[in-house]
Amino acid sequence: MKKIVLFFFVLFLFLRANAQNQIYGKVTDNENIPLYGTTVFLPELNKGTITNEDGEYRISNLPKGNLKIQFSYVGYNTEFQTVNIIKEENELNIKLTIAIIRSQEVIVTGGIITSQHENAVKIDVLKSREILFTGTPNFMESLTMVPGVDMIAKGQGVSKPVIRGLSMNDILVMNNGVRIENYQFSENHPLGIDDNDVDRIEVIKGPASLLYGSDAIGGVINFIKEKPAPTGKIIGDYRLQLHSNTLGINNSLGLKGTTKNLFGGFRFGCKNHADYLQGGGNYVPNARFNEMTFKANAGYTGEIGTFKILYDNFKQDLGMTVTPVILLVTKRGRKNEIWYQDWREGDV
């Protein structure tokens, strides 16, 4: 019994001692003016914060070893540094330069941070803001903004990516780095991704089989989820989109928060669209679709490691625009009644 008590006492002292590891510093521009609101993010730990009015930041409860740290501020070049955490107090002051001339692209994918020219494949990144301003109810259609990417569609909700002429089993689709294996097999299968919680989309155009396997011969599309809230913050948002061509509405409500060690959040989304109205007043028969989504995540970041759990529940009713429905659909509507997919997906 004494040995057990002694073991837990030593373990407590060990964790308590290591829990004091922290990094702090100040972010300024070239004229030493503090940059308030600079995002400071540790991608390997999924942890971050923002600078205060004096440009100062502090992140505590860090493990020892080399850590990648990212500094980003609107109008300035993003800065990446590698910090070796070997003591309790670690100071790192950063000067950001104004982004007048675009420098080489920086790729952050799968926990690996590198420059574009150091990659064997070309990676294009589509930000959530760019997706939002495409103005289309079809999430897949926004990907066609990337040169070399097209789509096959059987309706507004049933569409598949095409990269340089290859699609289906030749393209690997990943949701936050996790393979999606249930959509590729025919043009009638939907993508199965909700765009409301997507921070960015990484598109690898061209063969990537050596890195991802034989099903990535045409390329890879990786949907990266939104970042957690800054440490000590609780953030909520509500998004509303109205679409005239489909008489559609997109709703999304999200809430997330982060403490010293814990982070988590949820998002609820709803989409409801009628048949797509074309030029001349004609509508696309059975292009209507409806979606209901609920997503939640929780995690822990501390000395013993980083743990994260994600839950996605995705319910779709997708009308299919195929030849047999032309005579069956006699009026425009939004309720799925014939020739539609009742699709449900839940992942942990």
Average pLDDT over all residues of the chain = 77
Pairs from 121-124 (Cβ < 8 Å, separation ≥ 24)? 121/204, 121/205, 121/206, 121/207, 121/208, 121/211, 122/204, 122/205, 122/206, 123/202, 123/203, 123/204, 124/202, 124/203, 124/205
**In contact, 131 and 198? CB cutoff 8 Å:** yes
How high is the pLDDT of residue 140? 75
Reported as a single tens digit per residue, the pLDDT across 107-157 is 555 444 555 544 555 677 777 777 777 767 777 777 777 777 777 766 676
Q: Which residue has the higher pLDDT, 104 or 36?
A: 36
pTM of the entire predicted model: 0.57
pLDDT band at 242 (very low <50, low <70, confident <90, very high): confident
Tell me how far apart the alpha carbons of residues 221 and 254 are, in angstroms, rounded to a whole number. 24
Question: Taking 50 as the threshold, does the pLDDT of residue 41 lie above it?
Answer: yes
Question: Taking 60 as the threshold, does the pLDDT of residue 305 lie above it?
Answer: yes
How high is the pLDDT of residue 260? 83
Question: Residue 335 contacts by C-beta under 8 Å, 6 or more apart in sequence?
Answer: 288
What does 47-71 look like in DSSP terms, one character per residue? Answer: EEEE--TTSEEEEES--SEEEEEEE
Percent pLDDT > 70 in the chain is 80
Q: Is 13 exposed, middle or buried (0-12, 13-18, 19+ CB in 10 A)?
A: exposed
Reported as a single tens digit per residue, the pLDDT across 47-70 is 888 888 888 998 888 888 888 888
Bridge partners (DSSP) of residue 177 are none
**In contact, 107 and 114? CB cutoff 8 Å:** yes
Q: Give the single-character DSSP code of 227.
A: P
Tell me how far apart the alpha carbons of residues 217 and 210 are, in angstroms, rounded to a whole number. 9
How high is the pLDDT of residue 253? 92
**In contact, 239 and 198? CB cutoff 8 Å:** no
Reported as a single tens digit per residue, the pLDDT across 150-183 is 777 666 767 777 877 777 777 788 877 777 766 6
pLDDT band at 16 (very low <50, low <70, confident <90, very high): very low
Q: What b-and-e string marks burial along 34-50, b requiring 16 or more CB atoms within 10 Å of the CB?
A: ebeebbbbbbbbbbbbb
Quote the tokens at residue 55: 């440009």
Reported as a single tens digit per residue, the pLDDT across 205-241 is 767 666 776 677 777 888 888 888 888 889 898 988 8
